[in-house]
Amino acid sequence: MKITSIETHLVNMGHRNIPYVRIQTDEGIHGIGEAYSCGPDKATVECIRDFEGWLIGHDPRDIEGLWQLMYAGSRFPGGMVLNAAISGIEHALWDIAGKAAGLPVYRLVGGKCRNKIRVYQAPRGNTPEELAENAVALIEKYGYTAIKMGPLPSGWQAMPWNKAMRETERRVEAVREAVGEDIDIGLDPHARLFEVSQAQELCRVVAPYRPFFVEEPLRPENYDAMQKLSQQVDVPLATGEMLYTRHEFRELLARQAVNIIQPDICLMGGLWEMKKIAAMADAHYVSVAPHNPCGPVATAVNVHFAASTHNFLILEYHADDEGARRDIVDEPMKLVDGYLEIPEKPGLGIDLNVEALGAYPFKSWHRGFTFREDGALAYQ
């Protein structure tokens, strides 16, 4: 079997543009994948197109070798765009391998550790009351046993710090009271804090409400700062969505700086690389809760990872029951009472509806800056 072409489709999913990959072979088997929405998404598409020339004529089942060709064969490996392109291509290679073998992908990477995949979704709301109401609505509609919320209030950067913390406590308290004691609540400050003392204070404020984890309480580049924070707080810490390949996770794990890692399967190198990272985490008694904010193909790849990885914890998820998320695939992963079913079809068990992709064309977007009340810059 040989690769004959690689197609790319840049699809607007409402809040982001997602590059999808479709690899064709000379035996009529095709595979699909999803690259991360980096921001400069046309750059990711061009990177995938460039890799097409590297991969045509190769057997798509030689996944380890082709991954090394793309990663180590690049002049300076690493970075968001390159790793997103590699990840999307790698997903499609596994899809082809599974179809060629007549097996679901999870059978090729270890087999089942579980019979269903626990997921969570994030409610929205500017006020504590709106947030709590939306959390309850999500749980009632989809049967989730966990949610994740942003603890910091809107406009917190312009507030006095004590006020921001009081509003943070009001938000978390409102959601905890609304959903009850048995629902797990993850908290995500979105890496907006740069001081260990601020992150420590936030963790102290939310601790009475028993958070499932506090995600990215600091930006991830400074492992020393994260390690210092982990030694000062009594809540589980999580990070990893901005890190690439096993090489960037190695030091984080060696420092025992977090309880949970959150690699993104569309960004950090793909399914096989994520399995390697999960094995490293397992040796450090760390769980894996994949970052998964993008599209339905990413969810499918994550389901195969989760099914075959025993230190998997929970998967971030967006319901694929309406709009572009439903239209662009033939059949999304099936959600039942807060858990995704594991597909038994060969490959990933999902396919792109190519005819529908054109209905959601690329839309340009960018972040801007504004001035806060204290005169400092903040991005919008």
Return contacts of 61-69, CB within 8 angstroms, 24+ apart.
Answer: 61/1, 61/93, 61/96, 61/97, 61/100, 63/90, 63/93, 63/94, 63/97, 63/272, 64/272, 66/90, 66/93, 67/269, 67/270, 67/272, 67/273
What's the whole-number mean pLDDT along residues 149-162?
Answer: 93
pLDDT at 149 over 80: yes
Q: Which two tokens stand for residue 270?
A: 């793909």
Name every residue whose Cβ is closer than 8 Å to that of residue 347 and which is 6 or more positions away in sequence. 31, 94, 95, 96, 97, 98, 99, 104, 105
Q: Which of 66, 79, 72 is nearest to 6 (CA)?
A: 66
Q: Does domain 107-348 have CATH number 3.50.40.10?
A: no
Separation between Cα atoms, residue 249 and residue 257, nearest integer Å:
11
**What's the CA gap between 202 and 217, in Å, rounded?**
8
pLDDT of 129? 97
Judged against a pLDDT cut of 80, whether residue 254 lies above it is answered with: yes
pLDDT at site 373:
65
Sequence ranges of the domains in the chain: 3-103, 107-348
172 in Cβ contact with 151 (< 8 Å): yes
Task: Say yes or no to pLDDT of 374 above 90.
Answer: no
Nearest to 135 by CA among 190, 208, 207, 185: 185
Q: Give percent above pLDDT 70 in the chain.
A: 96
What whole-number distance in Å separates Cα of residue 253 and Cα of residue 233? Answer: 18
Other CB atoms within 10 A of residue 62 CB: 16
pLDDT band at 333 (very low <50, low <70, confident <90, very high): very high
- Please check the confidence at residue 186 and state whether its pLDDT lies above 90: yes
- The string of pLDDT tens digits covering residues 212-226 is 999 999 998 899 999
Whole-angstrom distance, CA of residue 224 vs CA of residue 215: 17
- How do residues 227-240 score in pLDDT, each as one tens digit? 999 999 999 999 99
Cα(105)–Cα(91) distance, integer angstroms: 10
Fold of 3-103: Enolase-like; domain 1 (3.30.390)
Is it the case that residue 370 has pLDDT exceeding 90?
Answer: no
- CB burial of residue 114 (10 Å; 0-12, 13-18, 19+): middle
Please give the average per-residue pLDDT across 274-285, as a whole number.
98
Does pTM surpass 0.85? yes
Catalytic residue ranges:
190, 291
Strands 30-34 and 17-25: antiparallel
Nearest to 139 by CA among 337, 289, 318: 337
CA distance 96 to 316: 25
Rg (CA), the chain: 21
Higher per-residue confidence, 194 vs 297? 297
Q: How far apart are CA 217 and CA 213, in angstroms?
A: 10
pLDDT score of 365:
74
Contacts of 231 (CB under 8 A, 6+ apart): none
| Mean pLDDT, all residues of the chain | 95
